[in-house]
């Protein structure tokens, strides 16, 4: 296949592209606007592949989308481009409405026009895979409850409401126009190359700099944690083998309270990079001494948990990493990739496009 991946310079998108290039014979067109969280350095190991192409395009730009479809003739679309940070959506929801709703609509229309132009075999083979989140389901009440593919939507934040809207648009484009779609809803991802605004990379990097480790409220919020490379395998499984019109929930089977996650990170850092080795650690005995409880965010959901039995039953996917193995790999990756981290903190990663691609465009 030739797969058009939107948002491929993001955390999950880059893991997906690395998986496709490294583990399949398929080719990828990475379409990304390169907002603050888009980082082409996360694709450095595959960017020289003849099966990889980058397009610097905003999914809200219909003319450019039409050009990309016409030029590259993809067999499938995997749509990951989205604004995804809850706190940012509370502070400024406009970008979430524009990208997650208007952008998804624009992409659907461009994909529909392209799909309708294909011959019968092309139409039958084409797939539009929309990647979403478990946050569209809202909050779980009972301690044994799980999100299933039929759980009613009840989003709590501007971010989750915008993703719920995009899910509804995708389903409507299948119901109304016959566009062959697939939807996946995933739990919290973690792993290498994660932009340090989310809990796990934020805690790791703050700890290494001796900064406070902020915990919302008591840290009792429960999330199901999914290693990003397991998620990438699941996404490819769905686009390659999933049943058109179906939704698949993808979870890691790892429910943890946020405070548990932070304690685990501190324990690993105490083992792998003892706090006493740092210049700021004169009065610290453990990274846990940096934990600081802060005021909770508005409308904070208490518990998410995924029932991933459908994708296991229908497609044979299960996560390979436990939380214990995945979180150790994650901490070790951050400790061993200081250059990537420094480029994030300095903003140098944003010059990667000019450094790595402008000269290539001029090369015969």
The CATH number covering residue 184 comes to: 3.40.50.720
Task: Provide the 3-class DSSP secondary structure of residue 326.
Answer: helix
Burial of residue 74 (number of CB atoms within 10 Å: 0-12, 13-18, 19+): buried
| Residues 155/132, Cβ–Cβ less than 8 Å | no
Q: Is 215 within a domain? A: no
Active site (catalytic) residues:
134-135, 159
Q: Is 316 within a domain? A: yes
d(CA 134, CA 147): 8
d(CA 265, CA 257): 13
| Residues 269/210, Cβ–Cβ less than 8 Å | no
- The total number of structural domains that make up the chain: 1
Closest to 303 (Cα-Cα) out of 262, 248, 249, 256: 256
Q: Is 280 within a domain? A: no
Q: For each successive 10 residues of the chain (364 residues), what is the average pLDDT? A: 97 98 98 91 96 98 98 98 85 93 98 98 98 93 86 94 98 98 96 90 92 90 94 98 98 92 97 88 88 81 88 97 97 95 77 49 34
Q: How far is CA 71 from the centre of its chain?
A: 26
Helix, strand, coil shares of the chain as percentages rounded to 5?
50, 15, 35
pTM assigned to the model: 0.92
* Domain range enclosing 154: 2-194+224-257+299-323+350-358
d(CA 43, CA 14): 6
Q: Is 73 within a domain? A: yes
Tell me what pLDDT residue 348 has.
67
Q: What are the φ/ψ torsions at residue 262 (nearest 5 degrees)? A: -65, -40
Contacts of 168 (CB under 8 A, 6+ apart): 153
Cβ atoms within 10 Å, residue 302: 13
Tell me what pLDDT residue 101 has.
97
Tell me what pLDDT residue 359 has.
44
Q: Is 111 within a domain? A: yes
d(CA 186, CA 251): 6
Q: Is 82 within a domain? A: yes
Q: Is 81 within a domain? A: yes
Q: Is 44 within a domain? A: yes
d(CA 269, CA 244): 44
């Amino acid at each position: 296949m030739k797969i058009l991946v939107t948002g491929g310079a993001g955390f999950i998108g880059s893991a997906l592209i690395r998986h496709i290039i490294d583990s399949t014979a398929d080719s990828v067109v990475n379409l990304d606007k390169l907002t603050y969280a888009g980082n082409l350095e996360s694709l450095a190991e595959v960017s020289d592949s003849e099966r990889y192409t980058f397009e610097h395009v905003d999914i809200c730009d219909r003319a450019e989308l039409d050009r990309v479809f016409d030029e590259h003739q993809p067999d499938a679309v995997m749509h990951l481009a989205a604004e995804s940070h809850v706190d940012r959506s509370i502070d400024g929801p406009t970008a979430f409405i524009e990208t997650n709703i208007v952008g998804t609509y624009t992409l659907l229309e461009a994909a529909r026009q392209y799909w309708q132009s294909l011959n019968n075999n092309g139409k039958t083979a084409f797939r539009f895979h929309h990647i979403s989140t478990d946050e569209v389901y809202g909050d779980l009440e009972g301690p044994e409850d799980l999100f299933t593919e039929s759980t009613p939507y009840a989003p709590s934040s501007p971010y989750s409401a915008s993703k719920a809207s995009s899910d509804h648009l995708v389903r409507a484009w299948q119901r109304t126009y016959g566009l062959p779609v697939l939807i996946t809803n995933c739990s919290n991802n973690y792993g290498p190359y994660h932009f340090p605004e989310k809990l796990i990379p934020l805690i790791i990097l703050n700890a290494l700099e001796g900064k406070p480790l902020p915990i919302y409220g008591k840290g009792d919020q429960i999330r199901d944690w999914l290693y990003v490379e397991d998620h990438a395998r699941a996404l490819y499984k769905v686009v390659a083998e999933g049943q058109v019109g179906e939704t698949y929930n993808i979870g890691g089977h790892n429910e943890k309270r946020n405070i548990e996650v932070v304690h685990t990170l501190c324990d690993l850092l105490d083992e792998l990079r003892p706090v006493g080795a740092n210049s700021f650690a004169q009065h610290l005995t453990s990274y846990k001494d940096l934990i600081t409880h802060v005021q909770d965010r508005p409308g904070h959901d208490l518990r998410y948990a995924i029932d991933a039995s459908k994708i296991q039953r229908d497609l044979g996917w299960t996560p390979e990493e436990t939380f214990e193995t995945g979180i150790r790999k994650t901490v070790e990756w951050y400790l061993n990739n200081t250059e990537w981290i420094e480029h994030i903190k300095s903003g140098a990663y944003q010059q990667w496009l000019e450094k790595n691609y402008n000269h290539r465009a001029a090369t015969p």
